[in-house]
Every structure is written in structure tokens, then in C-alpha cells.
Structure 1
Amino acid sequence: MMPDLGKYAAEVLTAYGASAVLIVALVWMSWARGAKVKRQLAEAEKEARNG
């Protein structure tokens, strides 16, 4: 069910593809950063408890 994009099909599909790649990259970077911060927080709390 692809709409007729005419002579601009390549440009439109390239833009959609680039957008999808960027969104996936941003989600992955956010997830990775969150995991890193969570590990750092757990380590800091462990150190604080052990004095």
C-alpha cells in the first residue's frame, strides 16, 4: 500500500529512511546513557553505605 510519490520517490524514501535511522540511534543512545547512569548511581550508593 505505497502511495504514488512520482518523481520524488527516491528523495522521500531516503528522508524516511534517514529519519528512522536517527530515531533508532537516539533511542539507543538514551537507553545506553540511562544504563550507564544507573550503574554509576548504584556504585555511588554502595560506596556511601560502606563509608
Structure 2
Amino acid sequence: MIDLGPHAVFIIWAYLGVAIAVGGLIAWTLLDARNTGKKLSELEARDPRRSAS
């Protein structure tokens, strides 16, 4: 095990906090992309003349 010195607790909590924050941002982005895709599908279904296909 690596000796982190007297500040080991702070270092571990700092890395954990960053990991949780990054995980939260990734989850938020994925959920937002899913919601945006649903809204886009609804808009395309409303007026099929304007779809890009």
C-alpha cells in the first residue's frame, strides 16, 4: 500500500468526491440525452413532413 502520509484521509475523500461528482455529471448527461431524444421523437411524429429521413 502507498503511504499517503498524515493527509491520507483528506486525499482519499478528495478523490472520492471527485469520482462521485464526475459520475453524477455522466449520469445527468445520459438522462438528459435520453429525454432530449424522446422530445425530438415526439416533435418528428407531430409533423412527419419535416423529418430528415
TM-score (norm 1): 0.90
Percent identity at matched positions? 24
TM-score (norm 2): 0.87
In structure 1, stretches of 5+ residues that fail to align are none
2:7 counterpart of 1:8? yes
Deviations along 1:8-43, whole A, 9 cap, x unmatched? 000000000000000100000000000000000000
Aligned partners of 2:36 and 2:7: how far apart in 1?
43
2:40 counterpart of 1:41? yes
Aligned partners of 1:19 and 1:11: how far apart in 2?
12
- When the two chains are superposed, the root-mean-square deviation of aligned CA atoms in Å is 1.2
2:30 counterpart of 1:31? yes
Paired amino acid for 1:26:
L
Aligned partners of 2:26 and 2:16: how far apart in 1?
16
Q: How many residues align?
A: 49
Paired amino acid for 1:23:
V
Aligned partners of 1:46 and 1:4: how far apart in 2?
60
- Could you list the runs of 4 or more consecutive aligned residues of structure 1 that deviate by over 4 angstroms after TM superposition? none
